[in-house]
Amino acid sequence: MPHPAFSVCVYCGSRPGSRPAYAALAQRLGRAIGQRGWQVVYGGGRAGLMGEVADAALSVGARVIGVIPDSLMRLEVGHAGLSELHVVRTMHERKQMMAEHADAFVAMPGGIGTFEELFEVWTWRHLNYHDRPIGLLDAEGYWAPMVGFLTRSCQEGFMDSGQLAMLSVDDEVERLLDTLFTRRGSPRSPMLDQI
Ligand code: AMP
């Protein structure tokens, strides 16, 4: 059986942010994933940066999989034009399913939903539930204060540099995608279904 396309799970804002650079970055990411013949997995919404990533990937013929809980779907925020839209019961099912469909994770600028998804999948990686790479895609120095705080956490003895090194931070889309592909893990992470 041929190996399915490399699949990138994108976490990003359901809002566009206050600068045009964020939407531009989301469009570059969606297009770049699609132009590589890769697949996007994301939260299934059509608003904000989420919609920008999905639309850009679809515009170059990429397969885009959305996973959305029933409650958000009922608020009519689901994207109607995706290759697949899975409507699941709970947020937990959603995040697990997104992770199960992913070979790599990218967090773009976003708010609390994005933070939660990033920190959860990073914790799962640290605890060896999966071995897939995680990237932070930056624009306008958005992530810099958080990276500064994470460095402080290492200095203060609550994290170690190995944990921090699990995040690949970059502001250049193609370079980040190359890094994630180089750092890809095993085709099947045995413990994701045990979360
Ligand atoms: P936030 O960063 O708070 O805007 O939340 C965005 C992240 O949380 C996305 O990566 C989604 O997976 C999830 N999310 C939050 N709001 C929505 C929404 N209205 N529709 C779909 N997913 C959402």
Q: How far is the CA of 96 from the centre of ligand 1 (A)?
A: 15
What pLDDT is attached to residue 192?
74
Q: For residue range 80-113, what is the model confidence (pLDDT) as tens digits?
A: 999 999 999 999 999 999 999 999 999 999 999 9
- Beta pairing class for 104-107 and 84-88: unpaired
Mutation test residue for ligand 1: of 10, 14, 87, the one with most atoms within 8 Å of CB? 14
Within a domain: 165: yes
Q: How far is the CA of 20 from the centre of ligand 1 (A)?
A: 19
Within a domain: 163: yes
At residue 45, what is the residue type? G
Mutation test residue for ligand 1: of 46, 97, 114, 120, the one with most atoms within 8 Å of CB? 114
CATH number for the domain that contains residue 128: 3.40.50.450
Within a domain: 27: yes
Ligand 1 contact, 16 CB (< 6 A): no
Ligand 1: which residue has its CA nearest to atom 2? 111
Within a domain: 2: no
Within a domain: 194: no
SS3 sequence of the chain: CCCCCCEEEEECCCCCCCCHHHHHHHHHHHHHHHHCCCEEEECCECCHHHHHHHHHHHHCCCEEEEEEEHHHHHCCCECCCCCEEEEECCHHHHHHHHHHCCCEEEECCCCHHHHHHHHHHHHHHHCCCCCCCEEEECCCCCCHHHHHHHHHHHHCCCCCHHHHHCEEEECCHHHHHHHHHHCCCCCCCCCHHHC
Q: How far is the CA of 62 from the centre of ligand 1 (A)?
A: 21
Taking residue 107's Cβ as centre, other Cβ atoms within 10 Å add up to 24
What pLDDT is attached to residue 2?
47
Residue whose token pair is 């809980």: 69
What are 37's two structure tokens? 């013949």
Spatial separation of the C-alpha atoms in residues 176 and 193, rounded to whole Å: 27
Measured from the Cα of 10, ligand 1's closest atom is: 10
Within a domain: 188: no
Domain interval for residue 168: 7-182
Ligand 1: which residue has its CA nearest to atom 16? 14
Ligand 1 contact, 44 CB (< 6 A): yes
What are 39's two structure tokens? 């697949």
Number of structural domains, the chain? Answer: 1
pLDDT lower than 50: segments of the chain: 1-2
Within a domain: 146: yes
Within a domain: 192: no
Ligand 1: which residue has its CA nearest to atom 18? 45
What pLDDT is attached to residue 190?
55
Q: How far is the CA of 12 from the centre of ligand 1 (A)?
A: 7
What pLDDT is attached to residue 6?
96
